[in-house]
């Protein structure tokens, strides 16, 4: 049958392309897409052609087609209904790490059942929630710590949402966009502008993907604090003041990346178990819907993608997780 997929064909330019989808073979499923999410940080780098050559292989989405920089079919937040394939999945809603496409065939092992408690639109957050789970596994938060999340994007806010569930944790989210304050409060976190954020923190999660944000993490870290770097800079090279109090305060700066299960849980949980946990967490709280929107019809995506990926500007708030409807 025929399917339509979104391709990025040049810097800042996308198009819909028709392609033939073969019948699913053994161990495969045919999925009719219901919704997909735009992961603004990563997809902005792809949209702008800023994936460094050294990271072309590491940055590949599991079911990507094409090669970086262009043309490339990229994305990893698809929710749909299985129309053909193994009986246990037939007719069920699944989440799959697939690019934006109205129908696709994928290995059944990469299609994870969506719990009945999770609505379609919220299920697109599964990949971001899985990242947040992995960040917290890397961070190993402790009861009573002073925690600071820098960057109130989707991943930063999901990290804050999980941290807010820990008893006695003193939690603040900071971001220069004051319009994120309402969402942070909805998810149970105190909000502060960067210059107002608390100092002497024990645990800091950096998710702003900016040099300024990472430098602020170093500035606000207390003695022997742990800084977990959850963002990715693409082809940029941030300059950090590691010659000041970095050594005297015995700070730890570690990266967290979702392609590997975090070390504290690697011997205990598989990738599939981590994603199943992320999906289950999405079913517990409708407050997470504050992260979603706007909704854009799939046929309008080529014209809308640039706008959806623009950073915030005066009078123009940036969306968190745009939802593509099919």
CA 293 to chain centre: 14
Residues 59 and 144 both lie in one domain: no
Q: How many domains does the chain have?
A: 2
Does 99 share its domain with 199? Answer: no
Domain that residue 228 falls in: 128-265
Are 283 and 118 spatial neighbours (Cβ–Cβ below 8 Å)? yes
pLDDT at 232: 87
Are 102 and 204 found together in one domain? no
Write down the pTM of the prediction.
0.95
> For position 57, which CATH number holds?
3.90.180.10
Q: Is residue 272 part of a domain?
A: no
**Spatial separation of the C-alpha atoms in residues 9 and 4, rounded to whole Å:** 15
Residues 300 and 211 in one domain: no
Claim to verify: residue 51 and residue 143 sit in the same structural domain: no
Given a contact cutoff of 8 angstroms between Cβ atoms, the answer to whether 218 and 251 are in contact is yes
Asked if 136 and 208 sit in the same domain, the reply is yes
CA atoms of 177 and 186, how far apart (whole Å): 16
- Identify the CATH number of the domain in which residue 184 sits: 3.40.50.720
Give the chain's count of helices (H) and strands (E): 8, 17
Same domain, 213 and 307: no
Q: What is the pLDDT of residue 251?
A: 97
The alpha carbon of residue 198 and the mean position of all alpha carbons in its chain are separated, in whole angstroms, by: 26
Looking at the fold, whether 75 and 172 belong to one and the same domain comes out as no
Q: Does residue 303 lie in a domain region?
A: yes
Do both 116 and 169 map to the same domain?
A: no
Q: Spell out the per-residue pLDDT of the chain, length 326, in tens.
A: 999 999 999 999 999 999 999 999 999 999 999 999 999 989 999 999 999 999 999 899 999 999 999 999 999 999 999 999 999 999 999 999 999 999 999 999 999 999 999 999 999 999 999 999 999 999 999 999 999 999 999 999 999 999 999 999 999 999 999 999 999 999 999 999 999 999 999 999 999 999 999 999 999 999 999 999 999 888 889 999 998 889 999 999 999 999 999 999 999 999 999 999 999 999 979 999 999 999 999 999 999 999 999 988 878 889 999 999 99
pLDDT score recorded for residue 235: 82
Tell me: do 229 and 294 sit in the same domain.
no
Residue 271 lies in a domain: no
């Amino acid at each position: 049958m025929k399917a339509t997929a979104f391709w990025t064909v040049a810097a800042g330019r996308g198009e819909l392309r028709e392609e033939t989808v073969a019948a699913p073979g053994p161990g495969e499923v045919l999925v009719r897409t219901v919704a997909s999410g735009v992961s603004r940080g990563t997809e902005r780098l792809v949209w702008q052609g800023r994936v460094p050559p050294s990271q072309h292989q590491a940055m590949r989405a599991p079911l990507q087609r094409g090669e970086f920089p262009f043309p490339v079919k990229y994305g990893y937040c698809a929710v749909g209904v299985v129309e053909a394939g193994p009986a246990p999945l037939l007719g069920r809603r699944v989440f799959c790490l697939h690019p934006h496409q109205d129908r696709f065939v994928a290995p059944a092992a990469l299609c994870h059942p969506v719990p009945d408690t999770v609505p379609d639109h919220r299920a697109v957050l599964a990949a971001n929630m899985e990242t947040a789970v992995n960040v917290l596994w890397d961070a190993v938060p402790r009861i009573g710590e002073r925690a600071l999340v820098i960057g109130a994007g989707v991943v930063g806010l999901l990290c804050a949402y999980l941290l807010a569930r820990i008893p006695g944790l003193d939690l603040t989210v900071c971001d220069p966009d004051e319009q994120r304050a309402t969402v942070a409060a909805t998810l149970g976190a105190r909000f502060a502008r960067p210059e107002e954020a608390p100092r002497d923190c024990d645990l800091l999660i950096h998710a702003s993907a900016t040099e300024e944000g990472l430098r602020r993490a170093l500035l606000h870290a207390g003695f022997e604090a742990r800084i977990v770097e959850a963002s990715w800079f693409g082809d940029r090279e941030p300059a950090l003041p590691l010659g000041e109090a970095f050594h005297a305060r015995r700070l730890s700066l570690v990266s967290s990346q979702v392609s590997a299960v975090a070390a504290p849980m690697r011997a205990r949980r598989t990738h599939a178990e981590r994603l199943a946990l992320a999906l289950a967490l999405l079913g517990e709280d409708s407050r997470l819907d504050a992260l979603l929107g706007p909704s854009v019809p799939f046929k309008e995506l080529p014209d809308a993608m640039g706008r959806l990926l623009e950073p915030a500007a005066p009078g123009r708030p940036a969306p968190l997780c745009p939802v593509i409807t099919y």
